[in-house]
Amino acid sequence: MTTGGNSSHTPLDGVIKFELTHLPGDLPGHADASAIIHWFGICRALNLIGQDPKRYEGAAYGNISQRLEHGFLVTGTQTGGKQALNMQGIAWVTECDSASNRVSSRGPARPSSESLTHAQVYQELPEVSFVIHVHSPLIWRQTETLALPATPPQAAYGTPEMAQEVRHLLEDENCRGQGVFSMGGHQDGITVFGETPESTGLRLLRLYQRACESSS
């Protein structure tokens, strides 16, 4: 099934913008999504992943991915509104081409609208195995205070422009060292990455704590 995301109007936050070719089915037999499910629960409890009718015109927000030998697993589009995640809410992205704005996937769910960004991180940093994208007004509004690397405001989520800006950021040693960047053109968007699920999740929690302390 091919779903086009390019339309004459601006899509809602969280809506897939790339050209998606998706084959419904099972995830690969070797896939272990337990870490994704675990950190989804933690982020959901902190409202870093979720859904609120008063935010983003009611669209769900936040997503998590994990590198596989081929491609990566990622939470499905609009799964942020779920109280708990299971295997039926996960997609397997097999190919991404940011230049042509195309994504190919398999699995029970269609992939997150942020899949191009996740793919760019994995492409640029072979040592990274886990990516968490959250929406946090608390952190995002303190991007400068917390000295976070950031993409420019004109680069919208889920677009080749965003993927290109992420690539530029990841060329900077400071961004790679921090393992985090703020998305200037994606309201409240914060992306954290690391070599393991645990290090990535703990990095996010430490950043959230810093933001809380800085705002108090």
Residues 139/145/148/150 CA torsion (nearest 10 deg): 90
Domain containing residue 51? 2-215
Domain count, the chain: 1
State both tokens at 200: 């990535």
Q: 199 or 114: which carries more pLDDT confidence?
A: 199
Residue 143's domain is classified under what CATH number?
3.40.225.10
Mean pLDDT of the chain: 90
> Which residues, 6 or more positions from 105, have their beta carbon under 8 angstroms from its beta carbon?
20, 21, 22, 23, 91, 92, 93, 94, 111, 115
For the whole model, what pTM was predicted?
A: 0.91
> In what helix (H) or strand (E) does residue 99 lie, and over which residues does it extend?
none
- pLDDT of res. 30: 87
- pLDDT of res. 15: 60
Question: What Å distances lie between residue 58 and 12, 15, 110, CA to CA?
Answer: 9, 11, 19
Q: 8 or 199: which carries more pLDDT confidence?
A: 199
pLDDT digits (tens, 9 = 90+) for 140-153: 999 999 999 999 99
Q: Measured between alpha carbons, how far is 159 from 157 in angstroms, rounded to an integer?
A: 6
Number of other residues whose CB lies within 10 A of the CB of residue 113 = 28
Sheet holding 189-194, edge to edge: 2-3, 19-24, 102-107, 90-97, 72-75, 63-67, 130-135, 189-194, 180-183, 150-151
- pLDDT of res. 101: 87
Question: Which single residue is written with the structure tokens 């397997």?
Answer: 92
pLDDT digits (tens, 9 = 90+) for 48-98: 999 999 999 999 999 999 999 999 999 999 999 999 999 999 999 999 998
Amino acid code (one letter) for 120: Q
pLDDT digits (tens, 9 = 90+) for 161-175: 888 899 999 999 999
60 and 79 Cβ atoms separated by less than 8 Å: yes
Q: Measured between alpha carbons, how far is 198 from 179 in angstroms, rounded to an integer?
A: 13
